[in-house]
Amino acid sequence: MYKKEKIIIAGAGGIGKAAGLILAEKQEFDASIYIGDINFEAAKQVCEWITAGTSSLIQVEPFFIDPKQTTEEMKFVFDSSDIILDCLPGSEAPRMARFAREFGLHYVNLTEYVKESEEVVQIATGAETGFILQAGLAPGYINILAKYLAEQFTKKYKTDFFEEISMKVGALTNITKSPHYYGFTWSPIGVATEYVKDAIVVKNGIKQIIPSLSDTQSIIIDGIRYEDDFTSGGAADMPEFFANKVNSLHYKTIRYPGHYDWVRTQIQELGSHENLAIPLLAKMKENIPHVEDDLIVIYASVMAKDEKNELHLLEKSMKIHPKQVGSYKLKAIQTATAAPLLECARLLLSGTYKGPILQSMID
For residues 329 and 337, the answer to whether their CB atoms sit within 8 Å is no
Q: Which of the four pLDDT bands, split at 50, 70 and 90, describes residue 85?
A: very high
* CA distance linking residue 185 with residue 173, whole number of Å: 7
Q: Mean pLDDT over residues 308-316, rounded?
A: 96
3 state DSSP class of 37? strand
pLDDT of res. 112:
82
Indicate whether 3 pLDDT > 80.
no
Least confident of 22-31, 161-170, 247-256: 22-31
Q: Mean pLDDT over residues 117-141, rounded?
A: 95
Q: Mean pLDDT over residues 43-65, rounded?
A: 94
Best CA proximity match to 120, nearest among 135, 128, 132 = 132
Give start and end residues of each alpha helix (H) in the chain: 14-25, 40-52, 72-79, 93-103, 114-124, 141-157, 188-196, 238-241, 259-270, 277-287, 332-350
Q: Which of the four pLDDT bands, split at 50, 70 and 90, describes residue 111?
A: confident
> Who's near 275: CB < 8 A, 6+ residues apart?
none
* CA distance linking residue 140 with residue 298, whole number of Å: 12
Q: Which of the four pLDDT bands, split at 50, 70 and 90, describes residue 201?
A: very high
pLDDT of res. 55:
85
Rg of the chain over CA atoms, in angstroms? Answer: 20
Note the residue count of the chain.
Answer: 363
pLDDT of res. 73:
96
pLDDT of res. 296:
98
3 state DSSP class of 40? helix
pLDDT, mean over the chain: 94
Indicate whether 1 pLDDT > 50.
no
Q: Which of the four pLDDT bands, split at 50, 70 and 90, describes residue 2?
A: very low
pLDDT of res. 229:
98
pLDDT of res. 146:
97
For residues 201 and 250, the answer to whether their CB atoms sit within 8 Å is yes
Indicate whether 234 pLDDT > 60.
yes
Give start and end residues of each alpha helix (H) in 245-301: 259-270, 277-287
For residues 242 and 149, the answer to whether their CB atoms sit within 8 Å is no
| Model confidence pLDDT, tens digit, residues 248-274 | 999 999 999 999 999 999 999 998 888
Q: Mean pLDDT over residues 61-90, rounded?
A: 96
- pTM of the full structure: 0.92
Q: Mean pLDDT over residues 33-42, rounded?
A: 97
For residues 34 and 44, the answer to whether their CB atoms sit within 8 Å is no
Q: Mean pLDDT over residues 336-347, rounded?
A: 95
> Who's near 24: CB < 8 A, 6+ residues apart?
33, 50, 51, 53, 54, 56, 58, 60, 326
| Model confidence pLDDT, tens digit, residues 343-356 | 999 999 988 889 99
Indicate whether 124 pLDDT > 60.
yes
The amino acid at residue 74 is M
Best CA proximity match to 15, nearest among 30, 37, 32 = 37
Indicate whether 236 pLDDT > 70.
yes
Q: Which of the four pLDDT bands, split at 50, 70 and 90, describes residue 237?
A: very high
> Who's near 179: CB < 8 A, 6+ residues apart?
258, 262, 287
Q: Mean pLDDT over residues 231-247, rounded?
A: 93
Q: Which helix (H) or strand (E) holds 323?
A: strand 323-325
pLDDT of res. 189:
87
